[in-house]
Structure 1
Amino acid sequence: MKFKLTLVFTLLITTSLLAQTKIKGIVVDTNNEPLPYCNIQFKGSTEGTTSNDNGAFYLESDKTWPEISVSFIGYKTLNYKLVQNIQFNLRLTLEEEQESLNEITIITGKQPKKNNPAIDILRKIWAQKRKNGLKHFNQYEFKKYQKVEFDLNTIDDKLKDKKIFRNLEFIFEDVDTSNITGKSYLPIFLNESLSNVYGDNTLNKEKNVLVANQNSGFSNNQELIAYIDDLYADYNIYDNYIKIFDKSFVSPLSKTGISNYNYYLADSAFIGKKWSYNLVYYPRRKNELTFKGDFWVSDTTFAIKKINLQVVKNANINWVKDVYIEQEYKLLNDSIFVLKKDYFLSDFSLSKKEKSRGVYGKKTTIYKDYVFNKPIKDKDFYDKKVYNSNSDSLYDKPRKFWDENRFEELSKNEQGIYKLIDTLKTVKKFKTINKVGQSIYSRYFLIEALNFDYGPIFSTFGYNDVEGIRVRAGGRTYKTANDLFRVEGYGAYGFKDQKLKYGVQAKWLLNKKNRFTISAGKRDDVEQIGASLTASTDVLGQSDGSSSLVGTGTNDKLTKLNLTSFTLGLEPKPNFELKLSANYKTLRSASNTFSLDYNDVNSPTGISSETNQFETIFSVGFYPGRKMSGFGVHREVANPYYTQFYTQITKGYNNTFNSDFDYTKVQFSFFRLWEIGGFGRLKTSLETGKTYGAVPLSLLSVAPGNQTYFIYDNTFNLLDFYEFVTDTYASFHLEHNFNGRLFSRIPFLKKTNLRTIVGFKTFWGSLSDQNKALNTTGSAIEIPLIAPNSEPYYEYSVGVSNIFKLLRVDFNFRGNYLEKPEVRNFGITAGIRFKF
Structure 2
Amino acid sequence: MSCRFFKSILWVVTLFITFGLNAQFTIKGRVTDASNGDPIPFASVGLKGLPYGTNTNFDGFFELKAKSLSDSLFVSFVGYKKRVKSVARIASQTIDFQLESAQKALEEVIVYSGENPAHKIIKKLLAHKSKNDRAKLDAFEYDSYSKIELDVDNISEKFREKKFMKEVESSIRKFQKIAGEDGKLVIPTYISETISKFYFLNSPNRKKEDILKTNIKGVGVQDGGFVSQLLGGNLFANYNFYSNFVPFFGKDFASPIGETWKSNYRYFIGDTVKVDNHTCYQIDYEPKNSMDLLFNGQIWVDTTSFALVQIDATVGKEANLNFIDKIKISQELEETKEGAWLPAKTRFMIDVEELTKNSAGMLLKIFVSNKNFVVNKPHETGFYDLMSEVKEDAREPDPEFWKYARHESLSTQDYEAFALVDSVKNLPTVKTYVEIAELILSGYKKFNDIEVGPYISSFAINKVEGARFRVGFRTNAKFDKNWILRGNVGFGTKDLIPKYQLEVNYLFSKKKWTIGGIKHSYDIERVGLTPELIGDNRLFYAFTRWGAFSGAFFRRSSEIFFNSELVKGFSINTSMATRSFDPLFRFHYRIQPELGLASPVKDNLNETFLTIQARYAKNETFIMNGNERITLATKRIPVLTLTYQQGFKDLFGGDFNYQKWTFKAYQTFNFGKIGHSDYTFSAGYTPSTLPAPLLFPHLGNETFFFVRSAFSTMNYFEFVSDKYASIQINHNFEGLFFNRIPLIKKLKWRFIASANAVVGSQTSSNQELMKDVNNPLRSKFLENYAFDSLDPNKPFVEAGYGIDNIFKLFRVQAFHRLTYLDRPNVSAFRLMASINFSF
TM-score with structure 1 setting the length? 0.83
Render the CA deviation track for 1:79-120: whole Å, top value 9, x for unaligned.
Answer: 9975455788999999xxxxxxxxxxx977777895211111
Alignment map for 1:375-454 (pairs within 5 Å): 375-376=378-379, 378=380, 380-381=381-382, 384-385=385-386, 392-396=392-396, 398-448=398-448, 451-454=449-452
Aligned residues: 776
Partner Cα separation in structure 2 for residue 230 and residue 697 of structure 1: 51
The structure 2 residue matched to 1:222, chosen from 208, 222, 225, is: 225
Q: Residue 328 of structure 2 corresponds to which residue in structure 1?
A: 324
Deviation at 1:121, TM superposition (A): 0.9
Deviations 1:533-568 (A, max 9, x none): 955999xx98944753667xx540122211111222
Which amino acid in 2 is paired with 1:278? Q
Partner of 1:595: 587
Aligned-pair CA distance for 1:61: 4.7
Q: Which residue of 1 aligns with 2:558?
A: 564
- Could you list the per-position Cα deviations for residues 298-338 of structure 1 after superposition, in whole angstroms to 9, with x for gaps in the alignment? 11211122221111331111111011221123356797654
CA-CA distance at 1:194 after TM superposition: 2.8
CA distance, structure 2, for counterparts of residue 132 and residue 352 of structure 1: 46
Mapped contact 2:309–2:333 kept (Cα < 8 A): yes
Aligned match for 1:729, one of 716, 724, 747? 724
CA 1:429 to 1:649, structure 2 compared with 1: closer, same or farther past 3 Å? Answer: same
Residue 299 of structure 1 corresponds to: 303
Corresponding residue for 2:529?
Answer: 531
Matched residue SS, 1:499: coil
What is aligned with 2:571? 577
2:190 aligns with 189
1:225-261: CA deviation from partner (whole Å, max 9, x where unpaired): 5467699442111222211322211212123222222
> For structure 1, which segment, 402-411 or 422-431, has the greater mean C-alpha deviation from structure 2 after superposition?
422-431
Partner of residue 28 from structure 2, selected from 10, 19, 26: 19
Go from structure 1 to structure 2 and tell me whether the alpha carbon gap of 1:114 and 1:231 turns closer, same or farther (over 3 Å shift).
farther
Letter matched to residue 216 of structure 2: N
Structure 1 partner of 2:265: 261
Change (3 A) 1:234 1:796: farther
Partner of residue 673 from structure 1, selected from 665, 668, 684: 668
Say which SS state the counterpart of residue 825 (structure 2) adopts: coil
Alignment of 1:124-135 (within 5 A): 124-132=124-132, 134=134
Q: Contact 2:732–2:750 (CA<8 Å) still a contact in 1?
A: yes
Secondary structure of 1:519's partner? strand
Query: Based on CA coordinates, which of the two structures has the bigger radius of gyration?
Result: 2
AA aligned opposite 1:349 = E
**Range with greater deviation from structure 2 (797-806 or 333-342):** 333-342
User: How far 1:475 sits from its partner (Å)?
Assistant: 1.4
Matches within 5 A, 1:457-536: 457-478=455-476, 480=478, 483-531=481-529, 535=533
Kindly state the Cα deviation for residue 375 of structure 1 after the two structures are TM-superposed: 4.9
Partner secondary structure for residue 686 of structure 2: strand
In structure 2, the residue matched to 1:371 is 374
Q: Please name the residue that 2:248 is paired with.
A: 244
Cα distance per residue 1:24-68 (max 9 Å; x no partner): 999xxxxxxxxxxxx97335666379xxxxxxxxx9754469555
| Greater displacement, 795-804 / 575-584 | 575-584
Q: Within 5 A, what are the aligned runs for 1:709-748?
A: 709-748=704-743
Distance 1:356 1:110 in 2: 45
Alpha-carbon distance in 1 for matches of 2:54, 2:463: 70
- Structure-2 change in CA distance of 1:775 and 1:177 (3 Å): farther
Q: 1:452 to 1:18 in 2, by over 3 A?
A: same
1:694 to 689, 692, 705: 689
Shift of 1:590: 2.2
Contact between 2:189 and 2:424, CA under 8 Å: does it hold in 1? no
Q: Which residue of structure 2 lines up, in the alignment, with residue 790 of structure 1?
A: 793
Per the TM alignment, residue 152 of structure 1 is displaced from its structure 2 partner at its CA by 1.6
8 Å CA contact retained: 1:470, 1:494:
yes
Aligned partners of 2:534 and 2:709 also within 8 Å: no
Q: Once structures 1 and 2 are overlaid, which stretch shifts more, 668-677 or 640-649?
A: 640-649
Deviations 1:162-197 (A, max 9, x none): 234243435524336779994332222112233323
Question: 2: distance between equivalents of 1:382 and 1:233?
Answer: 22
2:207/2:387 contact within 8 Å kept: no
* Amino acid corresponding to residue 473 of structure 1 in structure 2: V
The amino acid of 2:736's aligned partner reads R
Aligned-pair CA distance for 1:350:
3.0
Counterpart amino acid of 2:544? S
- Render the CA deviation track for 1:428-461: whole Å, top value 9, x for unaligned: 333322222222221111234xx43210011112
Q: Secondary structure at the match of 1:530?
A: coil
Contact 1:190 1:414 (C-alpha < 8 Å) held by counterparts: no
In the TM superposition, what is the alpha-carbon distance from 1:529 to its structure 2 partner?
Answer: 3.3
Letter in 1 for 2:681: L
What stretches of structure 1 of length at least 5 have no aligned partner?
1-14, 27-38, 50-58, 95-105
Q: How far apart, CA to CA, are the structure 2 residues paired with 1:175 and 1:356?
A: 19
Gaps of 5+ in 2: 1-23, 36-41, 47-51, 66-71, 88-94
User: CA distance change for structure 1 residues 195 and 471 in 2, over 3 Å: closer, same or farther?
Assistant: same
**Is the contact between residue 54 and residue 64 of structure 2 (CA under 8 Å) also seen in structure 1?**
no
User: What is the TM-score normalised by the length of structure 2?
Assistant: 0.83
Aligned residues of 1:111 and 1:262 also touching (Cα < 8 A) = no
Q: What is the deviation of 1:271?
A: 4.1
Compare 668-677 and 526-535 and name the one that shifted more. Answer: 526-535
1:581-613 residue CA offsets vs partner (Å, 9 max, x unmatched): 12111102123xx52544458999811001022
Percent identity (aligned): 24
Task: Tell me, in whole angstroms, the C-alpha distance in 2 between the residues paired with 1:86 and 1:513.
Answer: 48
Q: Is the 8 A contact 1:40 1:69 kept in 2?
A: yes
Q: 1:256 to 1:432 in 2, by over 3 A?
A: same
CA contact (8 A) 2:754 2:799 kept: yes
- Which residue identity lines up with residue 747 of structure 1 in the other structure? P
Residues 171-186 of structure 1 correspond to what in structure 2 (within 5 A)?
Answer: 171-172=171-172, 173-175=174-176, 182-186=183-187
| Aligned counterparts of 1:829 and 1:180: Cα–Cα separation in 2 | 52
1:775-808 deviations in Å (ceiling 9; x for gaps): 2243112325222422211111112111111111
Name the structure 1 match of 2:816.
Answer: 813
Structure 2 distance, partners of 1:230, 1:138, is 18
Q: Distance in 2 between matches of 1:678 and 1:371?
A: 37
RMSD: 4.0
CA–CA separation in structure 1 for the residues paired with 2:555 and 2:176: 59
Contact map agreement 1:718 1:827 (CA 8 A) in 2: yes
Equivalent position to 2:756, from 752, 761, 766: 761
